Amino acid sequence: SAAWDTGSWTAKSRRTSEKARMKKTLLAQVYPTYLAPIVACLTALALVTTTLVASLAYSLAHDELRDIVSLVERRFFPDGRTLSPETEEELARLFTDVPVRVTIIAPEGKVLADSQARTAELENHRNRPEVAEALERGEGNARRFSSSVGAELIYLAKSVGPEGAPTAVIRASKPLPVLQERLAEFYGHLAFAGIAILAASAVLAYASVRRINRPLVALAAAARRIGAGDFSYRPRIAEPEERRPL
């Protein structure tokens, strides 16, 4: 009885060891080949998506600033008239609850009105990149740190008046952190969705590997029984068809 128990334990241990080796081989080699392309595709998709979304967000921000500049132009420069002394106060009222700063600048660089600061406190803006570009080409864009606001901003400036002889430059700017917060929120949702997809893909890939592994385990068990002299044993392998002859 002791000999039979020892033999049974040895056979069981051998089967367990054989099965563990087969699982290790398949899970260590086949499973990563299933999962690696999925991870690569998700990573590439995430990179492309974040790049496109960031580009679209900045493009929409510039479109928003362009619309604001056009609004200010229609409001304060109808038919090319000059600014009134109340322009600065009216400008501040218009954009009190909007995270956008609007500045009206003379061609020589003097600040004529600003929605967030007193003109007397502002230096000459003639050499600002977006202002210089607007005076030269009609419209200018920039993304830089503002010392007067103490934050990084995106700018859009447009010249007003006849081509070649503008009467003023209207500039609108928006704090970059506001845009970055929105992008960060989107990236968080994107990361959560990516992790969920990756987890589901990992489970499906594991199930596929187990499905491949199951007939091989059955064949290995049949080989052991036949090797032990049980020639009547036939493994039940329903699929795939290619493995039935084995």
| Highest averaged pLDDT of the listed ranges 81-85, 131-135, 208-212 | 131-135
Q: Work out the average pLDDT over 92-110.
A: 88
Q: Which pTM was predicted? A: 0.62
Which DSSP helix (H) or strand (E) runs through 206? helix 176-227
Higher pLDDT, 104 or 85: 104
Cβ 209 vs Cβ 33: under 8 Å = no
pLDDT digits (tens, 9 = 90+) for 48-58: 888 888 888 88
Burial 207-239 (b: 16+ CB within 10 A, else e): eebeeebebbbeebebeeeeeeeeeeeebebee
Dist. CA 206–CA 208, nearest whole Å:
5
Please give the pLDDT value at position 3: 46
pLDDT digits (tens, 9 = 90+) for 127-144: 999 999 999 999 999 988
Instruction: Give the model's confidence band at 15: pLDDT under 50 very low, under 70 low, under 90 confident, else very high.
Output: low
- Position 187 pLDDT exceeds 80: yes
Instruction: Give the model's confidence band at 175: pLDDT under 50 very low, under 70 low, under 90 confident, else very high.
Output: confident
- Position 2 pLDDT exceeds 50: no
User: Tokens 């600003």 correspond to what residue?
Assistant: 114
Please give the pLDDT value at position 141: 92
